[in-house]
Structure 1
Amino acid sequence: MEKFGKSQAITRVEDTRFLTGHGGYVDDVAPEGALRAYVFRSPVAHAEILSLDVGDARDSDGVHLVLTADDLIAAGITMGLSAVTVKNRDGSDAAAPHRPILAKDKLRHVGEPVAVIVADTLDQARDAAELIELDYEDLPAKLDLAPGGTPLHDEAPDNRAYDWGLGDEVACAAAFRRAANVVRMEITDSRIIVNSIEPRGCFADWQDGRLHLAFGGQGVWGVKAALAKALSLEPENVHVTTPDVGGGFGMKAPPYPEYFAAAHAAMVLGRPVRWMGERSDAMLSDHHGRDLISDAALAFDENNRIIGYRVDTRSNLGAYNSNFGQLIQSNLFARVLMGTYDVQDTYLHVEGFYTNTTQVDAYRGAGRPEAIYVLERMMDQAARELGVDPWELRRINFIPKDKFPYMSATGENYDVGDFNKVLATAEAKADRAGFAARRADSEARGKLRGIGLSYYIESILGDPSEGAKVEFNEDGTVSIYVGTQSNGQGHETVYAKFLSDQTGIPMDMISVVQGDSDRIAQGGGTGGSRSVTVQANATLATVDKMVEAFTPYLADKMGVDEADIRFDDETFRAPGSNMTPTFLEAAEMARADGRADLLVHEARATLPARSYPNGAHVAEVEVDPDTGAVELVKYTVVDDFGNLINPLLAEGQVHGGVAQGAGQVMMERVVYDDEGQLLSGSFMDYAMPRAADMPMIGFSAEPVPSTSNPMGMKGCGEAGTVGAMASTMNAVLDALWQRGVRKIDMPVTPLRVWETLQDATEDAR
């Protein structure tokens, strides 16, 4: 790691700003005196709009503008929110109904934006919203994951958005016919609300024929392009920025209706307009995550080797196609369908359904946690049915080390891996040998103790290309411009330290510039665990250009041939010269000589392939059979992230990911009633894990450097969630198995666990 990073556990430099209240979030940086926007949302899940009267709202005190769908159409804004769609199994296109910025003709989920009120104050906007008269005729709410029901869209008369498949169905069926044993299981992955600590928000300003929109998101360029297209503006007349962001997790990546409405309002009024969502807005309108049911089957030969795997999934898209909604449980789920196991005969069949609920899209891991959850639940179930140790069953089926590079059944080219080594380390770190004693101690206290294993692999997503620009400033500092976007991961620390390692420029002299479409022409944003890997690759390319550009200049200064100059990551040197300038010294000389061309350097680079982080998660739980309460008491993670730039930040990413994965299993769940009303619409009714719910998490690295990038790195941002769900649930079922429980679905709330134990007791009588 000497060349590509010192692998030092450096604390985050941005934390001082955040912890002392000096963060600049979107609500902090909005212009003084900006008008306030409030969104009037649908009160029902499904209805025909009969009339919408906003006259009294427009006449209300302090109100400057009320926008409806008709107002947008009159202004020429007819484009809907975009979404990527897939192909059906028969080759036809999946359904692609129009998703309006504001509801038109129909209401399709509680919380759908219907009108936007812009007033001097937020209270005035709220008061005006109370005066809006919305008359509608209720329609039956569609909530189940099956064809049929009242259609939400003409393009999908049976409410099925797509019918997608991947793999050789015939070969997979043949594998099941010749199997010695077949294990089947239905697995539910319940819906969650992302609940970033900072809700979504934006402000828009229109000056001199140019739009500026600031929003809390995961990349500025997609939103810039969408705004330009929807508002009929030239791209150069749209400026998008992102300040500090309090968590994104995939949910904040796409454009949302409020951004278009605020931008149009600012253009109409010629004044800045500010919208900041509240927690109730977030619960109702932020894209939700997960929400699928899978019927899975594993086929085994007589030696307990897997010879076939089939998954049939029913996925909830919500009321519309969201940004990547159709891709999540199809293409992205398929990326790690067979995980770390050496099996080629697989088939994945997915049906996506529209329901009268909030849209579902990417949530930390975006399809990969869902796939690993199904597979690793199945591995534990199979081990029990086959009478095999679950750890040994995984070892029997691991892709052998000598088979890398390995092409997976769904077309992923795993470059390297040593799964047995990682699992052996996890077994030792988790003290599996001591589990029997810990279980006996729990039993002595009247508790049920279980241990659960999950072995995951993740496929890094997103644009493999990224750019970096390094500028030497007049005050002697250096700026690095990046195309990714921090959402709290510590990018300012990682990128500055990485550039420092490659150039010798002191880290405290380097500032990171991000989230500004005027200052950074192109970027891929943040998502899919891509950020550090692609950005470090681009930084290396930029450093190479810096060395190449300075070499002839310094050869003249040092009186040596260009070919003799070497850069040793800190200074330029050459035989025959006693000059050893650093980059900062070389830049100072160049500035004095009027060589402005040497003060700015930029490059783009493309990773040749994706990296595949993997690892083992081991959870231990205690269950109180009298109350059903589940306590996560011990958690161990051993990850192969390849080479690490900053182990401390990688560990922090794992901690957060584990909390989100285990939290979903233990307590998180979105609940709608039969009419499509959100019952879990506040933290009074939606449980989130707190510090007291999580144990200290043991983290160790067992690196197998990737060959897909020059740094040998593997992304780590989502890995904690990918592994945590199955390990936690497997531990719970292991604890309950001794009491006759054979199946339980998330979330394992005390009531659900207690009722399941009671049912098992009744069945045993």
Structure 2
Amino acid sequence: MEKFGKSQSVKRVEDIRFLKGAGGYLEDVAPAGHLRAVVLRSPVAHARVTELDVSDAREAEGVHLVLTGADLVAAGMTRGMMASIQTNRDGSPAAAPHRPVLAGDVVRFVGEPVALIVAETLDQARDAAEMVMLDYEDLEVKTDLAVGGATLHAEAPDNRAFDWGLGDEAATDAAFAKAARVVRMQVGDNRVIVNSMEPRGCYAEMEGDRLHVCFSGQGVWGPRDEIARMLDMPKDKVRVTIPDVGGGFGMKAMMYPEYHAVAHAARVLNRPVMWAADRNEAMLSDHHARDLTSDAALAFDENNRIIGYKVHTLCNLGAYNSQFGQFMQTQLFTRVLMGTYDVQDTYIRVEGIYTNTTYVDAYRGAGRPEAIYLLERMMDIAARELGVDPWELRRINFIKPDQFPYKSATDETYDVGDFVRVLNAAADQSDLAGFAARRAASEAQGKLRGMGLCYYIESILGDPSEGAKVEFNEDGTVTIYVGTQSNGQGHETAYIAFLSDQTGIAPDLISVVQGDSDRIETGGGTGGSRSVTVQANAMLATVDVMVAAFTPYLAEKMGVAEDEVRFDHETFRAPGSNLTPTLVEAAEMARLDGRVDLLSHEARATLPARSFPNGAHVAEVEVDPETGQIIMDRYTVVDDFGNLINPMLAEGQVHGGVAQGVGQALMEHVVHDDQGQLLTASFMDYAMPRASDLPMIGFTTEAVPSTANPMGMKGCGEAGTVGAMASSTNAVLDALWSRGVRHVDMPLTPLKTWELLQDAAEQTC
């Protein structure tokens, strides 16, 4: 049996229960007799609260508790929500204003939590919320992405949260000074809402003197520690669990105010309390994503090689620092700043701006889609200005295979890569040679056709350490405990298959336990495409521990020396012995002999380095110039994910990621008015991609196994989105270029596309 996976497309084992309606999502697992909570939210973007009278609500039918910010302060909950803080270019710390669980004297965005109402039923809680008297004095609202304006926080009087930089500015300026050509561009990256299929929610209950919080999330240990901190409880008095989760995409990795308020309410009432957002509430209160504008420049020598790259970004943080908001467009963006290109002289400056809007944080890719979008838009425009084929310009500048391991300009070490090979495969798979004929056919029908390329690279994020535990059960089954958390990716299928490959244990005997801080000592959760790579590494370590533990026991049974016992990933064998037990059989023997120590095995392992998935996305669109309607006609992906456990799961991840990237490029867009009111707060106003908006997505792999882990794997969870935004936008611009359009920004809705064509036509008249 192959040691590092058979790379078989095994069907997802968890789908059976989901398709039968037997999934255990939050609403399914809520404890009997729970109370329901409703959050009263600010109806305005910026105001000073002059009255918050909850007395009538407290007397309403069915109401058990009403909490305000003042109530939490009186109860000792004075700590602010957690936020990671950057260091400014001058060495000073970035702004760190207090972010309360429930608003105090000032509200700063529409949807900010103001009060929590707990009642017997959801309808009673909603009715009571309408009885709350909230009066306020309007303050000036800031929504523009610029330094200055009405001050949100005294800690940032100019609304600049941070002024961050990375790179050698002097060396980069010197590279630009000697450049043969410089290409400049301003690129916007529109704000989007994650919109997971299952909105956020949680419940909390007391279990004796311990607090149990269950929420729809992406990991339990960080939230456990944060709940303990906010409620001033010992960590061992807090248990956090996660049930089945209907999508996370980074948004559910964060802690939100509602979880702390509900936990406090359950502790006060000694009754289970549940809160679940509806779609409108989710759109208001889930953190948003992207929302930045970058001015960038590429310096080229006379051979069209890039010799310098400069970026100045303004990014919108919203009204507060979210958990990792300050890191999105700084440290995470710069992980892949220069992409796959061999350039060392780079400099980036990023200014984070507070506005009276919902806070911004991670969404599928977390900074890397934004970086690659900017760079690959730049590469496309550079190719046009330099008069070079865009595919060839990338080949000229790629890091060559003999340069690996390669230290990037931002201190990332790319372990392996063969970008030209992958790009050439993409040319074949997308039928680049036949594009001219397809364009001519479209033009004959009065349509415009364009092809867009993006070559991306992704940096795997998160804790490189992970643990795994395997238990042999009395009924002959095996349980594996993991520290990652599925949000719908198919982790159970992947982990069962991997453990079966390494041990010979039949897949139908294996079950996976995740998402329980009591049953699993520690873990890194899910995010940054880390899960399968780090978890498989931990499982390998656990298998090694398991085999080492059984070897002396079985050597005695076989009557041979320990060093003669071998495990072939199915059975133990030794020369001269007819005894060839499987691991399950060996565990049963140990159970009968009272060797309980052999029935549970665990290990923790750390990856020596990150892996860097990469690949080429080729989008092909057809545009109706009369209406601006864009049809995504063809979409091709060739990825280097290294070795795969299950190609079908990887392909599914790519399909989902592409849909989210194309969605942002062509239709998704958050709009606020000048008073900070969210105008796109429902699916009536916020467009999401449907099946009819996408073609069948071609997916193939050109594997260059990673040297950063023993499995040769590279994460695949976010790669689809990282490549899709630029390829889609570049394709539309390519289609419009012949009509005089020279710049486009996401989202390319039919109206915007039509207007671009009209403006270009007027300029040529």
TM-score (norm: length of structure 1): 1.00
Give the Cα separation in 2 of the matches to 1:718 and 1:133. 44
Quick check: 1:340 aligned with 2:340? yes
User: Quick check: 1:216 aligned with 2:216?
Assistant: yes
Tell whether 2:502 aligns with 1:502.
yes
- The amino acid across from 1:686 in the alignment is Y
Structure-1 separation of matches of 2:565 and 2:255: 49
Match of 1:442 in 2: 442
CA distance in 1, matches of 2:277, 2:398: 46
Q: What are the equivalent positions in structure 2 for 1:357-756 lying under 5 Å apart?
A: 357-756=357-756
1:104-130 Cα offsets, whole Å, 9 max, x none, are 110000000000000001101000011
CA–CA distance in structure 1, aligned partners of residues 633 and 718 of structure 2: 22
Deviation at 1:149, TM superposition (A): 1.0
1:437 to partner: Cα distance? 0.6
Q: Give the match for residue 225 of structure 1.
A: 225
Counterpart in the other structure of 1:250: 250
Deviations 1:281-305 (A, max 9, x none): 1100001010000001000001100
Q: 1: CA distance between counterparts of 2:93 and 2:239?
A: 34
Q: Aligned partners of 2:194 and 2:254: how far apart in 1?
A: 14
Alpha-carbon distance in 2 for matches of 1:381, 1:229: 49
Farther off after superposition, 19-28 or 373-382: 19-28
Residues 254 and 323, structure 1, Cα contact 8 Å, conserved in 2: yes
Deviations 1:292-322 (A, max 9, x none): 0000100000110000000100000000000
For residues 57 and 504 of structure 1, what CA distance do their matches in structure 2 show?
Answer: 61
- 1:63 aligns to what? 63
Deviation at 1:233, TM superposition (A): 1.2
**Alignment partners' CA distance in 1, 2:310 and 2:476:** 60
Displacement of 1:509 in angstroms is 0.3
Cα deviation, 1:310-335, whole Å, max 9, x if unaligned, reads 01000000000001100000000000
Tell me the distance in 2 between the aligned counterparts of 1:229 and 1:93. 22
Secondary structure of 2:52's aligned partner: strand
Deviations 1:576-622 (A, max 9, x none): 10110000000000000000000000000000000000000000000
Question: What SS does the aligned partner of 2:297 have?
Answer: strand
Distance 1:67 1:574 in 2: 68
For 2:221 and 2:21, the matched residues in 1 are separated by: 28
1:22 aligned residue: 22
Deviation at 1:380, TM superposition (A): 0.3
Letter in 1 for 2:40: F
Root mean square deviation of aligned Cα: 0.6
For the residue of structure 1 that corresponds to 2:485, the secondary structure is coil
8 Å CA contact retained: 1:48, 1:136 = yes
| Aligned partner of residue 399 in structure 1, secondary structure | coil
In 1, the alpha carbon distance for the partners of 2:387 and 2:236 equals: 65
Give the whole-Å Cα distance in 2 for the aligned partners of 1:626 and 1:146: 36
Residues of 1 paired with 2:486 and 2:680: CA distance? Answer: 29
Instruction: For 1:219 and 1:153, locate their aligned partners in 2 and report how far apart those are by CA, in whole Å.
Output: 31
User: After superposition, where does 1:147-162 map in structure 2 within 5 Å?
Assistant: 147-162=147-162
Q: Secondary structure at the match of 1:190?
A: strand
For 2:514 and 2:552, the matched residues in 1 are separated by: 31
Question: In percent, how many aligned pairs have the same letter?
Answer: 75
Q: Say yes or no: does 1:314 pair with 2:309.
A: no
Letter matched to residue 21 of structure 1: G
Separation of aligned partners in 1, 2:589 and 2:749: 66
Given that residues 207 and 270 in structure 1 are in contact (C-alpha distance below 8 angstroms), is that contact kept between their aligned partners in structure 2? no
Q: Following the alignment from structure 2 to structure 1, what is the Cα–Cα distance between the partners of residues 735 and 509?
A: 53
- In the TM superposition, what whole-angstrom CA distance separates every residue of 1:26-75 from its partner, at most 9, and x where no partner exists? 11100111000000000000001112100000011100000000110111
* Alpha-carbon distance in 2 for matches of 1:68, 1:703: 55
The superposition leaves residues 741-765 of structure 1 with CA deviations (integer Å, 9 ceiling, x where unpaired) of 0001110000000000000000001
1: CA distance between counterparts of 2:14 and 2:478? 17
Report the AA paired with residue 150 of structure 1: A
Asked if the contact 1:191–1:670 (Cα under 8 Å) also holds between the matched residues in 2, the reply is yes
- 3-state DSSP class of the match of 1:175? helix
Distance across 1 between alignment mates of 2:663 and 2:521: 39
In structure 2, the partner of 1:261 is 261
Deviation at 1:144? Answer: 1.1
- What is the CA-CA distance between 1:231 and the residue it aligns to? 1.0
SS state at 1:252 partner: helix
Q: CA deviation at 1:150?
A: 1.2
- Normalised by the length of structure 2, the TM-score is 1.00
Q: Which residue pairs with 2:300 in the alignment?
A: 300
SS of residue paired to 1:748: coil
How far apart, in 2, do the equivalents of 1:450 and 1:627 lie?
A: 16
Deviation at 1:207, TM superposition (A): 2.8
The answer to whether residue 200 in structure 2 is matched with residue 203 in structure 1 is no
CA shift, 1:367, in A, is 0.2
Code of the residue aligned with 1:296 in structure 2: it is A
Task: Name 2:191's counterpart in structure 1.
Answer: 191
Unaligned 5+ segments in structure 2 are: none
Q: Distance in 2 between matches of 1:201 and 1:154?
A: 32
Deviations 1:206-230 (A, max 9, x none): 1311101100000001110011111
Superposed, 1:35-54 pairs within 5 Å as 35-54=35-54
Amino acid of the residue matched to residue 427 of structure 1? A
Q: In structure 2, how many angstroms separate the alpha carbons of the residues matched to 1:202 and 1:523? A: 20
Q: Deviations over 1:430-475 (max 9, x none)?
A: 0000000110111111110000000000000000000000000111
Distance 2:150 2:291 in 1: 20
Give unmatched runs, 5+ long, in structure 1: none
CA distance in 2: counterparts of 1:344 and 1:236, whole angstroms: 48
Where 1:291 maps in the other structure, the secondary structure is strand
Total equivalences in the alignment: 765
Deviation at 1:633, TM superposition (A): 0.5
C-alpha deviation, 1:190, in angstroms: 0.1
> Which residue in 2 is equivalent to 1:328?
328
SS in structure 1 of the partner of residue 193 of structure 2: coil
Partner of 1:137: 137
Amino acid at match of 1:283: M
- What is the alpha-carbon distance in structure 1 between the residues aligned to residue 230 and residue 335 of structure 2? 33
Cross-structure match for 1:759: 759
Q: Does 1:123 align with 2:119?
A: no
CA distance in 1, matches of 2:527, 2:406: 25
**Whole-angstrom distance in 2 between the partners of 1:407 and 1:676:** 43
Distance 1:393 1:123 in 2: 61
Letter in 1 for 2:176: F
C-alpha distance in 1 between matches for 2:531 and 2:348: 29
* Secondary structure of 1:660 counterpart: helix
Give the conservation status (yes or no) of the 8 Å contact 1:294–1:313.
Answer: yes
1:163-221 Cα offsets, whole Å, 9 max, x none, are: 00000000111111111100000000000000000000001001311101100000001
What one-letter code is carried by the residue in structure 2 that aligns with 1:526? T
In 2, are the aligned partners of 1:222 and 1:254 still within 8 Å (CA)? no
Query: SS at the partner of 2:253?
Result: coil
SS in 1 for 2:123: helix
Instruction: Decide whether the 8 Å contact of 1:49 with 1:107 is kept in 2.
Output: yes
Report if the CA contact (8 A) 1:664-1:746 is conserved. yes
Superposed CA offset, 1:472-499 (max 9, x none): 0111100000000000000000001100
Superposition pairs of residues 64-143 of structure 1, within 5 angstroms: 64-143=64-143
